[in-house]
């Protein structure tokens, strides 16, 4: 009975591999393994071949270092530049407006009139010349104009939801750019809605009368108490001078909102309770909607947007024009392009490029026409090969003496090199796995000459304890070499 129990325990604890190691389901390298070499030198007056064991163990250690260095392939995405070209546009001193027929991949909605979400990109070819002296195309003042309305934001003017407002300030045509968001939600009794610097705390919610008593905190820290009613609208704002105010309305105050935006207010919060109800658990709730505006930029006629692109604002028609400005006497130099050179327009990667005519000798003689060029990027998946190294940075942690192994680590494989006569680590193996299991391994060594045994580490079964042992140093060397062939 005792012998049968010993066999069962051995099956539970051991993965046995004798002579050859096949089908590893774990990875070994110098970073996740420790090799334990024998240190006993004299037994019964006879010297042991410790040097040979050390050499064998060192070879194993070197192999584990190499096992941690491998070529790996990984994929990533890179931005690849791509160009879209229009047809060749002849220069006949005409007004020309870019269209999707001449350039299907223009990237924006272009047309003849800035209506709805349409943008006009207009060229006055009578203002573009061929300078024979320098052999270049010469762009003069207002030779290119980009025209849009308050519904279109083709530039970096606050994002897709930005609101553009035109007005006159101190006799100057002016545009205000507001970031804008609309939102909705619900709050319960004693909860607080926070929007930028405003806070609305719901002190009492009357679901029958459909009203809420609130404490309203302004960005300055001022607090007022007000009763807010269902389907009423409340404008809270900070004006251009930094003064704060609160205005109630019975219906959506679109005219007042427009008036305040044209006045250049700094920020505005438009709030409306939309319903009152009893929620889960009997809690009183209020639902709401709100709009929020914040001024992010202001431009006036003649101000520079970027480089030599200047604003011309038309408040009467709510139109906004960016034109190429050339005025050498006032720091807006003449714009010239040579062959293969592009003039960057301030919109969606769009450029214009002259196409020159040449004589038989390749000398430039004039201009054949112009092309629009849009430069964009596309994502492309690429495969990259590189070297990955999982190696130890401390050789003293890879190869240790048997006296140093006082317990099994839970984050490393352990390789025991040599038999129980020379390697003191076998005493720890008996403590961990029991005398019967270790005795069966010893018996196998004596009968077969050498063994390769792989045991689960009881502290962490993902890591193994590997015994490479022979009856003498030559057979231990054989066990190590057979093991090395399989890892």
The pair of three-digit structure tokens given for residue 79, joined into one six-digit string = 């931005």
Q: What residues are paired with 25 via a beta bridge?
A: none
Highest mean pLDDT among 76-85, 123-132, 389-398: 123-132
Q: Which residue has the higher pLDDT, 397 or 339?
A: 339
Residue 210 · residue 229 · CB < 8 Å: yes
Strand (E) or helix (H) holding 290? strand 284-300
Stretch 135-150: mean pLDDT = 95
The residue ranking higher by pLDDT, 69 or 477, is 477
Write the pLDDT tens digit of every residue in 109-140.
Answer: 999 999 988 999 999 999 999 999 999 999 99
Residue 6, pLDDT above cutoff 50 = no
- 76 versus 433: which is more confidently predicted? 433
Which CATH number is correct for 2-68+390-486, 3.20.20.70, 3.40.50.12090, 3.90.1150.10, 4.10.320.10?
Answer: 3.40.50.12090
Q: What is the pLDDT of residue 156?
A: 63
R_g over Cα of the chain: 41
**Cα–Cα distance measured from residue 481 to residue 450, given in angstroms and rounded to the nearest whole number:** 11
- pLDDT of 154 reads 66
DSSP code of 280? G
Per-residue confidence at 484, pLDDT binned at 50, 70, 90?
confident
For residue 81, the model assigns a pLDDT of 84
Please state, in angstroms and rounded to a whole number, the distance separating the CA atoms of residues 94 and 80: 36
Q: pLDDT band at residue 56, thresholds of 50, 70 and 90? A: confident
Residue 74 pLDDT grade (very low, low, confident, very high; cuts 50, 70, 90): confident
Evaluate if residue 325 carries a pLDDT over 60: yes
CATH 2.60.98 describes domain 172-299: yes
| Angle of the 50-67 helix axis to the 473-486 helix axis, nearest 10 | 10
Whether pLDDT at 301 is above 80: yes
* Mean confidence (pLDDT) of the chain: 88
State residue 1's pLDDT score.
37
* Region 84-104 average pLDDT: 95
Q: Helix, strand or coil for residue 247?
A: strand
Of 228, 264, 268, nearest to 248 by C-alpha is 228
Whose tokens are 């105010």? That residue is 245
Where exactly does CATH 3.40.50.12090 map onto the chain? 2-68+390-486
Distance CA 273, CA 429 (A): 74
Structure tokens at 136: 């270049």
* pLDDT per position as a tens digit, 191-202: 999 999 999 999
- Whether the pLDDT of residue 169 is over 60: the answer is yes
Write the pLDDT tens digit of every residue in 304-316.
999 999 999 999 9
Question: Other C-beta atoms within 10 Å of 377: how many?
Answer: 11
How many beta carbons lie within 10 A of that of residue 180, not counting itself? 18
The CATH 2.60.98 portion of the chain extends over 172-299
Cα gap 401→244, rounded to integer Å: 78
- Categorize the per-residue pLDDT at 3 as very low, low, confident or very high, splitting at 50, 70 and 90: very low
Mean pLDDT of the 243-262 span: 96
């Amino acid at each position: 009975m005792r012998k049968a129990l010993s066999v069962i325990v051995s099956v539970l604890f051991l993965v046995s591999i004798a002579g050859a190691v096949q089908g590893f389901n774990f990875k070994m390298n110098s970073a996740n393994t420790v090799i334990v070499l024998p240190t006993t030198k004299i037994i019964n007056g006879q010297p042991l071949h410790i040097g040979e064991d050390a050499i064998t163990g060192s070879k194993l250690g070197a192999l584990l270092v190499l096992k941690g260095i491998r070529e790996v392939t990984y994929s990533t995405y890179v931005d690849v530049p791509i160009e879209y070209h229009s047809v060749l546009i002849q220069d006949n001193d005409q007004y020309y407006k870019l269209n999707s027929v001449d350039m299907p991949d223009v990237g924006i909605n272009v047309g003849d009139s800035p209506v709805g979400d349409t943008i006009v990109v207009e060229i006055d070819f009578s203002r573009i010349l061929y300078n024979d002296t320098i052999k270049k195309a010469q762009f003069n003042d207002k030779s290119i104009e980009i025209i849009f309305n308050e519904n279109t934001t083709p530039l970096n003017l606050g994002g897709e939801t930005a609101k553009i407002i035109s007005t006159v300030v101190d006799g100057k045509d002016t545009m205000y750019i507001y970031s804008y968001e609309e939102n909705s939600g619900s709050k319960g009794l004693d909860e607080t809605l926070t929007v930028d610097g405003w806070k609305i705390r719901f002190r009492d919610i009357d679901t029958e009368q459909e009203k809420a008593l609130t404490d309203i905190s302004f960005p300055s820290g001022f607090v007022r108490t007000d009763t807010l009613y269902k389907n009423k609208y409340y404008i809270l704002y900070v004006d251009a001078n930094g003064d704060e105010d609160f205005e109630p309305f019975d219906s959506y105050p679109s005219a007042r909102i427009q008036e305040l935006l044209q006045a250049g207010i700094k920020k505005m919060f438009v709030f409306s309770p939309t319903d009152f109800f009893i929620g889960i658990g009997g809690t009183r709730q209020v639902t709401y909607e709100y709009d929020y505006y914040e001024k992010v930029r202001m431009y006036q006629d003649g101000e520079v947007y970027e480089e030599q692109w200047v604003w011309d604002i038309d408040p009467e028609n709510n139109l906004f024009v960016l034109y190429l400005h050339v005025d050498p006497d006032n720091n807006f130099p003449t714009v010239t392009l040579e062959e293969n050179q592009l003039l960057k327009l301030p919109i969606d990667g769009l450029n214009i490029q002259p196409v020159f005519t040449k004589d038989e000798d390749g000398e430039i003689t004039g201009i054949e026409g112009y092309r629009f060029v849009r430069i964009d990027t596309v994502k492309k998946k690429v495969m990259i090969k590189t070297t990955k190294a999982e190696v130890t940075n401390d050789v003293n942690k890879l190869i240790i003496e048997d006296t140093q192994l006082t317990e099994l680590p839970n984050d490393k494989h352990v390789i025991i090199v040599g038999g129980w006569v020379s390697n003191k680590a076998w005493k720890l193996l008996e403590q961990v796995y029991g005398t019967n299991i270790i005795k069966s391994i010893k018996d196998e060594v004596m009968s077969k000459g050498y063994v390769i045994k792989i045991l689960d580490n009881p502290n962490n079964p993902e890591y193994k304890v590997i015994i490479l042992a022979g009856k003498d140093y030559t057979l231990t060397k054989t066990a190590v070499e057979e093991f090395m062939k399989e890892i």
